[in-house]
């Protein structure tokens, strides 16, 4: 059944989306402000992907850029819908719904801005099942939907259309160049597809999962229960059911640089003589405990406040923070050879092979 | 009257266009090969700008990139017409003619490739009246025609549309980013306009001028007359009638680097204790004789072989070459305050003020 999402839900969704951002995806706070401003007392209709018509015309919308820039360069607010309109005009068809391309971070919110502004429904699914740094890292692409044509809207009214046919990496390469020259942030509409394609290629129900996660953490805090156990409980009935404890300790070192439009770096968390090293490119990519791999992309590596379970992004990491780092399994459709070629370790230049979190770590999160 | 341009004319046109390139604009040789391959025994119709209909729909076409890359990265050949088709499709109107945006260098040839392939006529005019490194440096822009929407075709079928409204510098900024990521060269269609706009904003008869210049040099060589005097004679009845001698000497130093998509550097020519310094960004920008300015952009600074008057591009400059450097005046429409703001000294970061060549140097070229 379609359900309604209101302004009151956004705080929980932002928390859950930050967790699914695995360190990246951009801070949803700014996106949330944008949604609230447009939505007011209204509500957004959310469609279950299993229930949509096969010929529904869906245009996903998103923000593109480095998270470190996203938090400093606030959009005018009209760009998300503008990107959808540019693509509609280019393809000569009107969207019947929008959808996230990325459920983690700010891109959980951008389609809601569009939905609130246009009245379009949002499909409860996405193409990353978390956050990833590049536009080609999509289950949509893995299972045969082209990102092109991509429409890009800049804050000073710039309109760009990029069509690289079935070469989604080239699309990313060109769109990234434009985004960098626009100051590091742009808004995009891409991966236009049919309802049938959504069912075949999207990770289902990731918007509602983000909302459930954020709500579970808040309710556990209010009830003085463990918010970490609440995360495990909330995920137990989803496609992300394996939740493992990776490390508890203090952040002792963060190296971070914004380069070529990405935030890249390494964070170190220590406890006694033991250390967890996390390497990231916008998102956390690999975690090594005393040199041994304990989690690797595309599985989720989430750094949370050790007390409150508030998720911490890579740009929010600070020396001295006490954190608990957890690993979460991804759905099978994100672990196939095709999926791993698009967004597995090798796609980030890592030499390590993918191994499922549940085969690396036994300790459950409670 | 419309006139015909055939393959036999291309060698002369290439020579004249290289001279008008003032060191830049890209080597027309490759463009000439592309035209010859498509044109064969056929002929291209060239329209005089004064005689076209006011409502003729003209889409100019060009190649974009650093000359140093252009000579090494040969286009597949289909991109020039492809860029025109992308723009036609985007604006929903069919071109009735094409036109150069730049009469110097390879961009004298690219519209001829399109004309030969499509059967469209070419308008005998352009928007630079020479060669310039940036897409916003156009008399079209100075007198109110927008470059946007710009269509860009890449060699692997990439299709990009950039629309920055009336901000032609932002258009250049974004298109340059795409061109760099495509390997340094792309083909573009931009500054679509009416016949009335052509009459108002284009530098007239620069294609035929390039052809006359190249022919005059060749015929003088064959008749054992001075090819330099022939250049002066050929220009005497045009809008470029002031031709001045700047220096005769030997190239003793060339610094050149390809950076941010441009070829930038300095060349030094010496004779006895005297030296001419030429600074360039793709094209020659300023000439200083023993420290005193003798010519400055937008006037033309042309380095020619001291014997044959063969024009030498910045990427063709070599230690030991014996050269004669001449300065050529530009039409009044290229020297107005608006024109100088777009492509005068300050547009290239030069501190010097523009001064007409005829006020700086008395020595005529004979």
Is the same domain home to B229 and B169? no
Nearest to A158 among B158, B174, B180 (CB): B174
Chain A residues whose C-beta is within 8 A of a chain B C-beta are 90, 149, 156-165, 167, 170, 173-174, 177-178, 180-182
Q: Quick check: A105 and A24 in contact, CB under 8 A?
A: yes
Domain boundary (B204, B235, B266) is at B204
Cross-strand bridge partners of residue B6: B43
pLDDT for the residue numbered B48:
98
Is the same domain home to A104 and A231? no
Structural domains of chain A, count? 2
Nearest to B159 among A163, A177, A182 (CB): A163
The number of C-beta contacts closer than 8 angstroms across A and B is 59
Cβ <8 Å between A160 and B162: yes
Distance from CA of A181 to the nearest CA of B (A): 7
Is the same domain home to A25 and A109? yes
Cis peptide before A119 (omega within 30 of 0): no
Lowest mean pLDDT among B67-71, B254-258, B268-272, B337-341: B67-71
Q: Give the global pTM.
A: 0.92
Distant-in-sequence, close-in-space partners of B243: CB < 8 Å, separation ≥ 6: B231, B232, B235, B326, B327, B328, B329, B364, B365
Q: Is the pLDDT of residue B337 over 80?
A: yes
The CATH number of whichever domain residue A116 belongs to comes to 3.40.1610.10
Chain A partners within 8 Å of B175 (Cβ): none
pLDDT for the residue numbered B69:
64
User: Would you state the structure tokens that stand for residue A159, as one six-digit string?
Assistant: 């309109």
pLDDT for the residue numbered B26:
85
Long-range contacts of A344-348 (CB under 8 A, 24+ apart): A344/A297, A344/A298, A345/A285, A345/A286, A345/A296, A345/A297, A347/A137, A348/A281, A348/A285, A348/A297
Chain B partners within 8 Å of A182 (Cβ): 174
Q: Give residue A273's domain range.
A: 225-360
Residue A218 lies in a domain: no
Chain A partners within 8 Å of B170 (Cβ): 156, 158
Residue B212 lies in a domain: no
d(CA B139, CA B125): 11
Distance from CA of B163 to the nearest CA of A (A): 5
d(CA B174, CA B176): 5
Mean pLDDT of B44-56: 98
Is the same domain home to B258 and B322? yes
Number of H helices and E strands in chain B, helices first, is 12, 18
DSSP string, B119-176: ---EESEESSSS--SSTT--HHHHTT---PSEEEE-TTS-EEEEE-TT-HHHHHHHHH
Angle (CA) A278 A325 A314, round 5°: 50
Residue of A nearest to B92 (CA): A90
Is the same domain home to B162 and B13? yes
Cβ <8 Å between A157 and B165: yes
Q: Which residue out of A89, A161, A179, A183 would a mutagenesis test of the B interface target, given it has the greatest number of B Cβ atoms within 10 Å?
A: A161
DSSP 8-state class, residue A134? S
pLDDT for the residue numbered A73:
65
* pLDDT tens digits along B207-231: 999 999 999 999 999 999 999 999 9
Angle (CA) A209 A215 A216, round 5°: 90
Helical packing angle, B10-20 and B28-39, nearest 10°: 150
Average pLDDT, chain B: 95
d(CA B210, CA B116): 19
Is the same domain home to A25 and A159? yes
d(CA B334, CA B138): 9
Residue A229 lies in a domain: yes
Cβ <8 Å between A174 and B167: no
Cβ <8 Å between A177 and B173: no
User: Would you state the structure tokens that stand for residue A234, as one six-digit string?
Assistant: 């909330």
Q: Which residue out of B92, B134, B159, B176 would a mutagenesis test of the A interface target, given it has the greatest number of A Cβ atoms within 10 Å?
A: B159
Is the same domain home to A195 and A232? no
Chain B partners within 8 Å of A170 (Cβ): 156, 158
Distance from CA of A140 to the nearest CA of B (A): 20
Cβ <8 Å between B177 and A177: yes
Chain B partners within 8 Å of A164 (Cβ): 156-159
pLDDT for the residue numbered A75:
67
Cβ <8 Å between A165 and B157: yes
* pLDDT tens digits along B178-208: 999 999 899 999 999 999 999 999 999 999 9
3-state secondary structure of B11: helix
Chain A partners within 8 Å of B150 (Cβ): none
pLDDT for the residue numbered A337:
98
Q: Is the pLDDT of residue B72 over 70?
A: no
Is the same domain home to B246 and B356? yes
Could you report the predicted ipTM of this complex, rounded to two decimals? Answer: 0.89
Q: Quick check: B196 and B54 in contact, CB under 8 A?
A: yes
Residue B219 lies in a domain: no
Cβ <8 Å between B174 and A156: no
Q: Which position has the token pair 């070459």?
A: B321
pLDDT for the residue numbered A89:
98
3-state secondary structure of B110: helix
pLDDT for the residue numbered B71:
61
Residue of B nearest to A163 (CA): B159
Cβ <8 Å between B156 and A178: no
Neighbours of A43 (CB within 10 A): 16
CA A354: distance to chain centroid? 20
d(CA A278, CA A321): 15
d(CA A314, CA A307): 18
Q: Which residue out of A87, A135, A158 would a mutagenesis test of the B interface target, given it has the greatest number of B Cβ atoms within 10 Å?
A: A158
* pLDDT tens digits along B254-264: 998 877 767 88
pLDDT for the residue numbered A156:
93
Is the same domain home to B238 and B187? no
Is the same domain home to A237 and A307? yes
Residue B132 lies in a domain: yes
Is the same domain home to B172 and B24? yes
Distance from CA of B151 to the nearest CA of A (A): 9
d(CA B309, CA A170): 44
Cβ <8 Å between A170 and B161: no
Domain boundary (B141, B171, B204) is at B204
Distant-in-sequence, close-in-space partners of A26: CB < 8 Å, separation ≥ 6: A63, A65, A67, A70, A71, A105, A106, A107, A131
Number of H helices and E strands in chain A, helices first, is 12, 18
Cβ <8 Å between B161 and A158: no
Domain boundary (A158, A175, A204) is at A204
Q: Quick check: B16 and B210 in contact, CB under 8 A?
A: yes
Nearest to B158 among A158, A159, A164 (CB): A164
Cβ <8 Å between B159 and A159: no
Beta strands in B297-342 (DSSP E): 300-305, 322-328
pLDDT for the residue numbered A27:
84
Chain B partners within 8 Å of A156 (Cβ): 164, 167, 170
Q: Quick check: A324 and A245 in contact, CB under 8 A?
A: yes
pLDDT for the residue numbered A67:
62
Per-residue pLDDT of chain A (366 residues; tens, 9 = 90+): 899 999 999 999 999 999 999 998 888 888 899 999 999 999 999 999 999 999 999 999 999 987 666 666 666 678 999 999 999 999 999 999 999 999 999 999 999 999 999 999 999 999 999 999 999 999 999 999 999 999 999 999 999 999 999 999 999 999 999 999 999 899 999 999 999 999 999 999 999 999 999 999 999 999 999 999 999 999 999 999 999 999 999 999 999 887 776 788 999 999 999 999 999 998 999 999 999 999 999 999 999 999 999 999 988 899 999 999 999 999 999 999 999 999 999 999 999 999 999 999 999 998
Residue B365 lies in a domain: no
Cβ <8 Å between A157 and B173: no
pLDDT for the residue numbered A263:
80
The CATH number of whichever domain residue A332 belongs to comes to 2.40.390.10
Q: For residue A228, report the phi and psi dihedrals to the nearest 5 degrees.
A: -70, -45
Is the same domain home to B197 and B316? no
CA dist list (Å): A84 to A80, A88, A90, A115, A152: 7, 6, 10, 11, 9
Neighbours of B184 (CB within 10 A): 18
CA A25: distance to chain centroid? 5
Q: Which position has the token pair 């989720």?
A: A300
Chain B partners within 8 Å of A173 (Cβ): 181
Distance from CA of A80 to the nearest CA of B (A): 17
pLDDT for the residue numbered A71:
61
Residue A111 lies in a domain: yes
Residue B220 lies in a domain: no
């Amino acid at each position: 059944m379609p359900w309604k999402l209101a302004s009151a839900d956004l705080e929980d969704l932002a928390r859950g989306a930050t967790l699914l951002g695995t360190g990246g995806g951009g801070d949803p706070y700014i996106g949330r402000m944008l949604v609230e401003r447009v939505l007011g007392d209204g509500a957004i209709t959310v469609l279950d992907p299993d229930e949509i018509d096969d010929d529904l015309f869906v245009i996903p919308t998103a923000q593109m850029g480095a998270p470190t820039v996203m938090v400093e360069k606030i959009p005018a607010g009209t760009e998300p819908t503008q990107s959808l309109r540019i693509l509609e005009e280019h393809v000569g068809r009107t969207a019947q719904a929008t959808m996230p391309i990325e459920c983690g971070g700010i891109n959980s919110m951008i389609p809601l801005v569009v939905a609130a502004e246009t009245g379009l429904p949002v499909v409860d699914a996405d193409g990353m099942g978390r956050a990833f740094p590049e536009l080609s890292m999509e289950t949509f692409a893995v299972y045969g939907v082209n990102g092109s044509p991509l429409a890009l809207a800049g804050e000073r009214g710039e309109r760009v259309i990029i069509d690289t046919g079935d070469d989604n990496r080239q699309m990313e390469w060109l769109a990234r160049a434009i985004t960098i020259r626009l100051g590091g942030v742009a808004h995009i509409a891409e991966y236009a597809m049919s309802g049938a394609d959504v069912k075949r290629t999207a990770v289902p129900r990731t918007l509602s999962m983000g909302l459930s996660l954020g709500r579970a953490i808040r309710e556990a805090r209010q009830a003085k229960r463990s918010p970490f156990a609440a995360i495990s409980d909330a995920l137990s009935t989803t496609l992300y059911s394996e939740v493992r404890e990776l490390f508890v300790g203090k952040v002792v070192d963060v190296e971070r640089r914004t380069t070529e439009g990405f935030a890249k770096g390494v964070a170190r968390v220590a406890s006694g003589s033991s250390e967890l090293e996390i390497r990231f490119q916008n998102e956390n990519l690999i975690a090594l405990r005393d040199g041994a791999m304990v989690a690797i992309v595309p599985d989720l590596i989430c750094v949370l406040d050790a007390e409150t379970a508030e998720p911490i992004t890579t740009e929010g990491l600070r020396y001295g923070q006490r954190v608990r780092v957890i690993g979460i399994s991804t759905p099978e459709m994100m672990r196939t050879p095709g999926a791993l070629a698009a967004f597995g370790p090798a796609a980030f230049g890592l030499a390590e092979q993918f191994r499922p979190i549940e085969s690396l770590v036994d300790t459950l999160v409670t």
